[in-house]
Structure 1
Amino acid sequence: MRNFKTNPKIWLFCSTITNSKYVLELVVFFILISVSSVKAQDLSVSGAVLTKEGKPLNYATVSLINAKDSALMETAFSDANGIYKFMPLKAGEYIVSVEAIGFNTKTSLPFLYALTQVVVDTITIEESSENLKEVVVTTSKPTIERKDNRMVINVAGSVLAAGNNAIDILERAPGVSVDRDGNISLNGKAGVTVMINDKLSYLSNSQLAGMLRSTNGNTIQAIEIMTNPSSKYDASGNSGIINIRLKKNKENGFNGSLILGVGHGHYVSDNASLSLNAKTGNLNSFANISRINDKKFINLSSDRIIDSSGFKTIYSQKSSIKDVAINNSYRIGADYETGKNNTLGIVINGYFNDKNIANKGIATIIDPLNKNLTKQISVSDDNRTLNNVGINLNDRFRLDTIGQALSIDLDYIKYKNNGDALLSTLYDNSEGNRQQQSPYYLRQNTSAAIVVHAGKADYISPDFKTVKIETGIKISEVKTDNTLEVLTSSDDVDYVFNPQLSNQFIYKERIQASYINLTKKRKQTTIQLGLRSEHTTSKGTLLNSNEPSITQKYLDFFPNLFVLQSLNAKNKISLNLSRRIERPNYQSLNPFAYYIDPYTRQLGNPFLKPQYTNNIELNYSYSRFDVGLSYAHTTNVSTETVVTDTISKISSVTFINLNSLERYTISTNYSYSLANWWSGNINGYLTYNNYNLNGSSGVNQENKNLSYNIKSTQNFRISNNYKLEINARYQSQFVYGLYHLRPFSSIDAGVSHSFWSDRANLKISVNDIFNERKTDLTLETKGSHIHGYQKNDTRLIRFVFTYNFGSKSLKSTSHLSSATDEKSRAGN
């Protein structure tokens, strides 16, 4: 048995962690590491592929050949650590052959396989004498791929990605919908967790939407959609996880790209970004800076009918909004290989954004007897600054040549948002004369700070008695400090502090998690069984208030089962069962009353409970065709609603827990190639949602609906230098919580031209060509009926120029996989 003390890195890590008071949570983790270090007998043939410099070679083609007749038995690819593995069915004499672009083919010496484990001597291959100085890979990956328990959208190279931000690109992904406020749902179901490079953002929905809008689409490599992720991932996200993988080049030498873009809708917008990469010896460094100057025009209208003891008040409002955002983001980092088995890394990323929202609204208020018609003219000017910095330190080291590995990540993230909003309201009577009612002036100064500390350790043993073991721990601490300072005035000159409307809310949360995944592969069957535990402690305190602090403590277990059966080379069927949680975001817990106008405000709910979902999903795939059936049952459904005080007529946009949601879904995805110049994808889902409101809206009722969504992407290669892409989508009428939303559709198109030996590219695209994208909804609650309409500035034409410079030598094949590099950094 291997002792931890023989490896000083593991011993130091264990000593540091076990000195804390959370020893019990780590017992399983370290027992598994100790036990799995025993080299039990198994049936595999494995080995490693290294370059002449002793570095792992990723994505090399490894063939298992019968030594007697040279028959090809199996083919595999080396992973990020250069490891490959076979499970031969017959005893005999074999040879391993390794091929990789830019390298000479290398074969092993013959070896005997007698149904016991065989570790082939490390194979070292050298670069081809031709050196492939200027290799141009013309083969493109399909836009959408299905990989076991996830769907991968290859964004890099997409015509429509140019000039768009991450939110725009997510809207085109299969099954993904983004509402007017940037909230993301998957296959018609809310509660999606969005990760960037396998890391949580710890943001509220609106803050996350802001961050994604500041993420340039040209920096995205791929998007992974996991409706039922394994226990390795955080349990948050009722409808699954969307993982955005950013580009990171590992080509030798110095290289980079410059991107300049301009767009025109109602206003002119522009964007620019610069990416730099340098790899010398064991050091790989990268940097990206981007700027997006985004201007949008939004039309809003709403009609509220408030019923108070049979007397109805009508509140009809129309607003015009100019939304200007200047988003500046950066990402810099480096990886250093301290040896052939260890890589240290650091990544620093963040943004500093300025935002101004100018809103002018005119409301007509009719009293119950229709005797008084009042016009309310509200003008608001909302200025915000949003800043973020995140630091990640990571260490990846291999424990042996078979694939045992340990990875450690430490994260520090800080968000700082400040806002200064001035709301001015004047009143007119039905004759247009100024009423005696005094003008209403309100200044709201907001400050929100979020600090995150997180650490995790992941261990993998790919070959313990033919079972792959993954286990790990994670501890995260989050503190949010929100301050609202309200000042009122009757003349827009002298403002007086209003203590009744002002306050400070502090929220603290700590999550301690551990998990284990067991994966068994036998012939054509793969079984993965996982269990994750998460202990949550949270405390919300409203200062300057007599209200007591709200404290919650709960321990949850989240099992996961994944079974994949390969019927043959093209036919696969899989079954996935999981349990997940969705905790309230920080913004929805904040009890502040933030006024949009005198009769409309946003109000958090500190008593919100987490919601839980049990999922079962059955998938069948044939070549490039996939179809899935799923059922999900959610309790304590958290949703947005509008609560209206029938006396004061003030409507509060807030959050509540519904009783439950039952959801049945059929989803399908088909990628095809009709000719060598025409490929495409069509996907969609049909879903039945049944919300059990249980009195949450003031009456006992159900809100149910059958809806569907269809998306299609067509890619045309007009010539070697020209590409055309068309994207279309249609969403039928659907329900979301208490809301009913009407159908919408949109069509996007773009063309790209490559020149200057493929170093330069010009892309022209048009979003929402027919200007059909809109939000049209109704809401029925006790005492009120609401109809809302929102039309954003969705029809845009964009011009984006890209220039790539520096070395283009293809020294390894690691970058041929759309997300291989990021997977190696995440320990996948």
Structure 2
Amino acid sequence: MKKTIVLLLCLGIYLPGLAQFQLQGTLIDTGHQPVPYATIRLAWAKDSSTIKGAVANEKGFFRLDNLAAGTYLLQLQSVGHQARWLPAFSLNETNPTADFGVITLNEKTESLAQITVKGQRSLVENQGDRMVLSVANSVIAKGNKVEDLLNYAPLVSKTPLGIKVANKSNVLILVDGRQMGQGALDNFLQNFSAEDILKIEVIPNPSAKYDASFGAVINIITLKSLERGLNGRLSTTYSQGHYGRFSPNGSLNLRSAKWNVFTTLTGRLDEVGSEEATVRTYQAGSMAGQAFSLYKTKGFSTFSGIDYFPSLNHVLGLRVNSSTQTIRSITDGTTAFRRSTGGVDSVLLLNRLETDNTRNYDVNINYTGKLDSVGKELSVNLTKSFFDRSNTQYLTYQYQHVDRSSLRSSSRARIQNPKTEENLIGKADLTVPLKKRTLGSRLPMDHHQQQ
């Protein structure tokens, strides 16, 4: 029992956090008031090409994570303020975080005779019952995934317990107004490119149209071309430090008078190395661990669909989302056990090989119809989702004397953590407008099975 507890403590040491570079700051105006929802653009210093975008929150604070090492420029823009470029700065292993502190933006002071209207528009709009973050063709569409966009959406925050809207933690996340299974939703948020998102709607006080068990709603609306014929997009992201990260993605859209067929494909291939040093103390002494882990990830995901328009007021749709991902990691670690008197008592060598395989799919059939000219509408959604994950760790460990002679023979262990989840979600909504209010009727169905 004692040996098992010590091994688990060492495993806690050998769960390293992946190294990443980031930057942050807070924007204020000349009156020392926060500048909310300003646009942040990160660019390479060598050619000013855009790498990634962000939006400051309502307090003017912004942060960009998961950045590669390099030398950058940062542009700050807000409606009614002068755009500002910050001097070039570098992110690297010795300087992993750039904290710009408080940054002041000057108000524009042009006279009426000098003003030329260019149609500059804030990415965040208040539309009465909802706040809207516009994504398409904006700076935040570059270099981000959908989960990154949630960091910039108004009123939205991430906590250890999940996503919150304002002070509400029970949040319903929809994609094009449709509910997904949790596995498919996680895949969509983590892998879907922001370049294929039109906008994000945040509804802090949802109407009777939505499930009353949720306190708030986030509706992520994907971007589909309105042009007739075939069109598409292809882009890749590659970064190189000690190891490389490669993420290709693309989309195709074929539209005619009656049909719209679309698909988005995303790939991931990267290697990440991480070093970790940890010290833990207890009553009889302490243990100091050092470990190096190498993670290799490869994955592929799709988001596809067909819309059929039998008439102007009716649409029948099919959505198919799927993904597969494999993460393989190798960890080599050493833990030195010390007595309270200060001397090293023994050494534990640990090698861990971990393989994590995940696959899921999500199929949705939907119908939306306007039944008359005064606003009566019927919508029906049926979603079937499947999620499967197998996680296996192979451990080899050996206790040694200080001189590295064997104290005990080496031991081996295998830890498995499988998970299978299936969901069937159905919903039918009938909306009937009355003279002073809208009457809604809902028929929900949710079947969940987990192993």
Same fold (TM over 0.5): yes
Q: Distance in 2 between matches of 1:362 and 1:186?
A: 43
Q: Distance in 2 between matches of 1:175 and 1:300?
A: 35
**Which residue in the other structure is 2:346 paired with?**
374
Question: Are the structure 2 counterparts of residues 242 and 360 from structure 1 closer, same or farther at C-alpha, using a change threshold of 3 Å?
Answer: farther
Tell me which residue corresponds to 2:44. Answer: none
Compute the displacement of 1:174 (Å). 4.4
Q: Tell me which of 182, 185, 192 is aligned to 1:203.
A: 182
Check whether the contact 1:144–1:151 (CA below 8 A) recurs between aligned residues: yes
2:427 paired with 1:443: no
Cα distance in 2, alignment partners of residues 270 and 408 from structure 1: 39
Determine if contact 1:183/1:209 at 8 Å carries over to the other structure: no
8 Å contact from structure 2 (residues 180, 383) kept in 1: no
- 1:198 is aligned with what amino acid? G
Is the partner of 1:171 in helix, strand or coil?
helix
Preserved contact between residue 336 and residue 344 of structure 2 (Cα < 8 Å):
no
Contact 2:347 2:404 in 1 (8 A): no
Alpha-carbon shift at residue 321 of structure 1 (Å): 3.0
Distance in 2 (CA, whole Å) between partners of 1:224 and 1:280 is: 28
Please state if 1:338 is matched with 2:310.
Answer: yes
Match of 1:391 in 2: 363
* Number of equivalent positions: 334
- List alignment gaps of at least 5 residues for structure 1: 1-137, 482-828
Q: Are residues 1:455 and 2:426 paired?
A: yes
Post-superposition CA distance 1:256-281 (Å, at most 9, x none): 22222222344221222221112212
Q: Which residue of 2 aligns with 1:170?
A: 150
SS in 1 for 2:418: strand
Q: Is the 8 A contact 2:155 2:202 kept in 1?
A: no
The structure number with the bigger radius of gyration is 1
Q: Are the counterparts in 2 of residues 334 and 346 from structure 1 also a CA contact under 8 Å?
A: yes
Distance 1:160-1:283 versus aligned 2 partners, 3 A rule: closer
**Contact preservation (8 Å) 1:270, 1:292:** yes
Q: Per the alignment, do residues 441 and 172 of structure 1 end up closer, same or farther by CA in structure 2, a change over 3 Å counting?
A: farther
Contact kept? 2:178, 2:381, Cα under 8 Å: no
SS in structure 2 at match of 1:296: strand
Percent identity between matched residues is: 24
1:362 matched residue in structure 2: 334
Q: Secondary structure of the residue that 1:218 maps to in structure 2?
A: helix
Secondary structure, counterpart of 2:372 in structure 1: coil
User: Which letter maps to 1:159?
Assistant: V
Matched residue, 2:248 = 272
Deviation for aligned residue 1:236:
5.8
**1:38-97 deviation per Cα after TM superposition (whole angstroms, max 9, x unaligned):** xxxxxxxxxxxxxxxxxxxxxxxxxxxxxxxxxxxxxxxxxxxxxxxxxxxxxxxxxxxx
Structure 1 residues 192 and 407, CA gap change in structure 2 (3 angstroms)? closer
- Cα distance between partner residues in 2 of 1:409 and 1:422: 43
- Paired residues of 2:187 and 2:323 also in contact (CA < 8 A): no
Q: Which AA in structure 2 matches 1:471?
A: S
Q: Is the 8 A contact 1:250 1:284 kept in 2?
A: no
- In the superposition, relative to structure 1, how do residues 189 and 443 fare at CA in structure 2: closer, same or farther (>3 Å)? farther
Structure 1 residue 223 and structure 2 residue 200: aligned? yes
Find the aligned partners of 1:449 and 1:264 in 2 and give their Cα distance.
35
1:474 and 2:440 correspond: no
Partner of 2:397: 425
For 2:400, the aligned partner's letter is D
The one-letter amino acid paired with 2:331 is: N
Contact 1:182/1:209, CA 8 A, preserved across alignment: no
Using a 3 Å threshold, how does the CA distance of structure 1 residues 338 and 173 change in structure 2: closer, same or farther? closer
Per-residue deviation, 1:210? 5.3
Higher relative contact order at CA 8 Å, sep ≥6: structure 1 or structure 2? 1
What pairs with 1:138-537 in structure 2 (closer than 5 Å)? 142-174=122-154, 176-178=156-158, 184=163, 192-203=171-182, 209=186, 211-234=188-211, 240-306=216-282, 311-367=283-339, 373-429=345-401, 431-462=402-433, 464-481=434-451
Superposed CA deviations along residues 213-265 of structure 1, whole A, max 9, x for unmatched, are: 22222222222333443443345667x44333222222222222222222234
Partners in 2 of 1:369 and 1:268 — Cα distance? 45
Gaps (5+ residues) in structure 2?
1-117
| CA–CA separation in structure 2 for the residues paired with 1:366 and 1:197 | 58
Q: CA deviation at 1:467?
A: 1.0
Distance in 2, Cα, partners of 1:186 & 1:373: 52
After TM superposition, give the deviation of residue 302 of structure 1 in Å.
4.3
The offset of 1:160, in angstroms, is: 4.3
Give 1:328 deviation, angstroms. Answer: 1.0
Deviation for aligned residue 1:147: 2.3
Alpha-carbon contact 2:181-2:362 (below 8 Å) kept: no
Cα drift, residue 452 of structure 1: 1.0
Structure 2: how far apart are the matches of 1:364 and 1:210?
A: 40
Superposed CA RMSD in Å reads 3.1
Equivalent-residue separation in structure 2 for 1:201 and 1:428 (angstroms)? 51
What TM-score comes out, normalization by structure 2 length?
0.65
TM-score by length of 1: 0.37
CA contact (8 A) 1:313 1:367 kept: yes
Once the 2 structures are TM-superposed, how far is the Cα of residue 175 of structure 1 from its aligned partner?
A: 5.4
CA distance in 1, matches of 2:164, 2:331: 28
Q: 2:292·2:333 contact (CA, 8 Å) conserved in 1? A: yes
3-state SS of paired residue (1:153)? strand
